[in-house]
Amino acid sequence: MLSVVAGSQAFHTARMTDDRVATTFVTDAAGFLGTELVKVLLAQGWRVLGLASSVEAAERVRRAGAIPVIGDLLEPGRWQDEAAADWVFYLPPHAGYRPWLTGKRAAVIARARLLMDAHLLDPVAAGATRRIVYVAQASYYGATGPRPITEDEPVRPSAWARRFTPALDRLDGYVVAGLPIVTAFPGWVYGDGSWFRERVIEPVMTGRRVLQVGKTGPWVSPIHVHDCARALVHLARHGEAGGRYFVVNSDSIRLYEFAETFARLANRPLRLRRVPALAASLVVDPFPTDDIRSDAVFSNIRLRGTGFRFQYPTLDHGLQQILGALHE
């Protein structure tokens, strides 16, 4: 049994009118963002079910505090019964890829995304789910230039994001059919894990070189993983069904500032391995090359308009939290 936080205000807000504790279903619950989302939901008193594709992933879900549900988005199964929860957070797993993509490989990934969407959303459509938060790639909007764009800007997908266009087009059909879907587009999500641990924390703390593409890198919109998870939960409550929301901080940064700022706050020297932007595809893995060479700057005015407030509004705030956790 999963315990809940009895007596807290958050616990009461997570109850249904029949005094039943509401349930959330989280896909990729063992992932970087998924585990943080589980913790945020648990802190607010929800009963959380987390989809896990292996025994090892199930153990990570259990350690995060959720109830693991074994299953794979690519395969129909009993997990689909559990997916008909009060809230559904759809975090598609990141399939393995390399930055040099053949047309055949892109087609396989595109078909897999459509299949995963259908396996989750079709069963949910027949239930009484109150809100579905669908997490998508912000790179779907393509290169933005250094000034922030809004969600209403015409999309110009990068080569990597173009393979997800059919899925997002089909998502509009689910919305028209009445599914209460809110689509979230996070920016560069950083924290103690995933790409940020591998590319920034570990090299800086051990004195190894940090890879830097170009002289400064593009302008990007960051978001701390905890704020990203909080924003997804906030959108489940306050987002408009059928709406799209960029989940990013207000201030954009140069890509190189992730490592530069972290090294400064950690009081460590920053050693760089500079690679010309045109040569990025030869050395960069696993990131799609377009995403580290092009500006990706987004406005959060729509998110803030729902009443969301950031706990880590700047890169300095977020990195200080990470350093504090490392030293505990």
How many folded domains does the chain comprise?
A: 2
- Selected residue with higher pLDDT from 78 and 164: 78
* 202 falls within a domain: yes
Q: What is the pLDDT of residues 198-252, one digit of tens each?
A: 999 999 999 999 988 767 778 999 999 999 999 999 999 999 999 999 999 999 9
Percent of the chain, pLDDT > 70?
A: 84
pLDDT at 97: 43
b/e 290-319 (16+ beta carbons within 10 angstroms → b) = bbbbbbbbbbbebbeebebebebebbeebb
Q: Are residues 34 and 154 in the same domain?
A: yes
Evaluate if residue 254 carries a pLDDT over 80: yes
Q: Are residues 92 and 211 in the same domain?
A: no
- Selected residue with higher pLDDT from 101 and 317: 317
Distance, CA of 151 to CA of 170 (rounded, Å): 18
pLDDT at 160: 67
Q: Are residues 63 and 179 in the same domain?
A: yes
Q: Are residues 205 and 142 in the same domain?
A: no
Which of 57-71, 75-89, 280-294 shows the lowest per-residue confidence on average (mean pLDDT)?
280-294
* 240 falls within a domain: yes
Domain of 77, in residue numbers: 11-190+224-250+297-313
pLDDT at 211: 81
Q: Are residues 203 and 132 in the same domain?
A: no
The phi, psi pair for 159, rounded to 5°, reads -60, -40
- Selected residue with higher pLDDT from 48 and 106: 48
pLDDT at 283: 46
In this prediction, residue 101 has a pLDDT band, given cuts at 50, 70 and 90, of low
Q: Are residues 107 and 242 in the same domain?
A: yes
Q: Are residues 258 and 245 in the same domain?
A: no
